[in-house]
């Protein structure tokens, strides 16, 4: 496969880089952490979005070494930030099924000397589709290390409520589809309110994704969201731009 070979070369030749997008904590009105988002700086095609290559990486299994690189790099970068904030890393369901994800996480934390409490793993429903003992055991082992687990893109798939009960999430990320609808559909606000109430009562926090307008932000504050993320706060930025952002530059 051409693309698989491309991804392999890209990894070997260090064509991947991480962008970081902040989460704003609404109580303190301060940046609470950053999500790491992988980018492919392709020599011919320019910057390629993960939407274009993560699916191929998943099909070919390349997501396992790529995901390991993302984890290690995210931990290394976070260890250098001027404040001990949280770093969130997206995990593919394929990484979970590959077996060794907890060993990979432990190694990345150790290598970077990063406090496990500063690492958050974002998982999608795909991870949970096989709601089996081994998935649960891995999640519990990760949580046992002190790592936080976030449910990504909440509200877009199936059976999400059952998953909330079955798995020990620390945080729910409310999918940007609901945020986008906030100004135009009253039921979107009702859904966001219901999710924040549910999360509260289960001891989880909430992050609303894709916040682009002050109006959406006001709705989310009113609904009791813990954190927001989106272009209104900041686009994803290069690793070198994180420290200046934290110093208020
Ligand atoms: O950053 P962008 O909006 O282009 O991301 C598109 C999609 O790629 C999002 O769904 C995001 O979660 C996913 N993504 C970004 N970085 C990673 C990563 O390191 N690993 C995985 N598995 N997905 C990622
Ligand atoms: O699936 P996931 O939530 O991880 O996707 C993250 C992606 O969403 C990032 O790649 C980022 O580029 C994109 N994103 C971040 N903030 C916004 C926003 O405010 N609006 C839109 N449309 N996309 C965003
Ligand atoms: Na994510
Ligand atoms: Mn998401």
Average pLDDT, the chain: 92
- What's the confidence (pLDDT) of residue 248? 83
pLDDT of residue 41: 94
Percent of the chain residues past pLDDT 90, beyond the cut? 78
Which of residues 156 and 175 earns the better pLDDT score? Answer: 175
Give me ligand 4 centre to Cα 219, in Å.
19
Q: How far is the CA of 51 from the centre of ligand 1 (A)?
A: 6
223 vs 5: which has the higher pLDDT: 223
Percentage of the chain modeled with pLDDT above 70 = 96
Q: Which SS3 state, helix, strand or coil, does residue 94 take?
A: helix
Find the angle CA(93)-CA(96)-CA(99) to the nearest 5 degrees: 150
Residue 70 CA, closest ligand 1 atom number: 19
- 10 Å CB burial of residue 47 (0-12, 13-18, 19+) is exposed
Cα(246) to ligand 2 centroid in Å equals 20
Backbone φ, ψ for residue 146 (5° rounding): 105, 0
Q: Which of 231, 246, 215 is nearest to 31 (CA)?
A: 246
Using 50, 70 and 90 to split pLDDT, how confident is the model at 249?
Answer: low
Distance of CA 181 to the CA centre of its chain: 22
Instruction: For tokens 């530059």, name the residue.
Output: 249
* Ligand 1 mutation pick, 90, 95, 97, 104, max ligand atoms within 8 A of CB: 90
pLDDT of residue 75 exceeding 70, the answer is yes
pLDDT at 204 over 70: yes
Tell me the ligand closest to 70's alpha carbon.
1
126 lines ligand 2 (CB under 6 A): no
pLDDT of residue 145: 95
Q: 195: closest CA among 241, 158, 226, 238?
A: 226
CA 118, chain centre distance (Å): 13
At residue 159, the pLDDT reads: 59
7-30 confidence digits (pLDDT tens)? 999 999 999 999 999 999 999 999
Residue 96: other Cβ atoms inside 10 A: 21
State the closest ligand 2 atom to the C-alpha of 211, by its place in the atom list counted from 1.
19
Cα(89) to centroid(ligand 1), Å:
9
User: Candidates 18, 19, 21: which one to mutate for ligand 2, based on the most atoms within 8 Å of Cβ?
Assistant: 21
Q: What is the DSSP letter of 118?
A: G
Residue 70 to residues 20, 53, 140, 219, Cα–Cα distance (Å): 12, 14, 22, 33
The whole-number pLDDT of residue 217 equals 97
Output the CA angle 58-61-66, nearest 5 degrees: 80
* pLDDT for the residue numbered 127: 76
pLDDT tens figures, 105-160 = 999 999 999 999 999 999 988 777 766 778 888 899 999 999 999 999 998 876 56
């Amino acid at each position: 496969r051409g693309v698989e070979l491309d991804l392999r070369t890209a990894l070997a030749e260090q064509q991947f880089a991480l962008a970081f997008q902040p989460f704003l904590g609404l109580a303190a009105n301060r940046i609470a952490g950053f999500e790491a988002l992988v980018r492919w700086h392709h020599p011919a095609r320019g910057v390629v979005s993960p939407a274009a290559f993560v699916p191929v990486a998943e099909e070919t299994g390349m997501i396992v070494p790529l995901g390991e690189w993302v984890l290690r790099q995210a931990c290394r970068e976070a260890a250098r930030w001027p404040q001990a904030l949280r770093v969130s890393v997206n995990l593919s369901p394929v990484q979970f099924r590959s077996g060794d994800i907890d060993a990979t996480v432990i190694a990345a934390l150790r290598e970077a000397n990063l406090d496990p409490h500063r690492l958050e793993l974002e998982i999608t429903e795909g991870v949970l589709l096989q709601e089996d003992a081994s998935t649960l055991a891995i999640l519990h082992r990760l949580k046992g290390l002190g790592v936080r687990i976030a449910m990504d893109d909440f509200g877009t798939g199936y059976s999400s409520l059952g998953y909330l009960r079955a798995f020990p999430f620390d945080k729910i990320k409310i999918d940007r589809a609901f945020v986008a609808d906030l100004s135009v559909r009253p039921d979107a606000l009702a859904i966001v309110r219901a999710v924040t109430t549910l999360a509260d009562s289960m001891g989880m926090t909430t992050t609303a994704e894709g916040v682009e307008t002050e109006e959406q932000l006001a709705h989310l504050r009113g609904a009791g969201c813990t954190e927001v993320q989106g272009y209104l706060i900041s686009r994803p930025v290069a690793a070198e731009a994180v420290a200046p952002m934290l110093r208020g530059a």
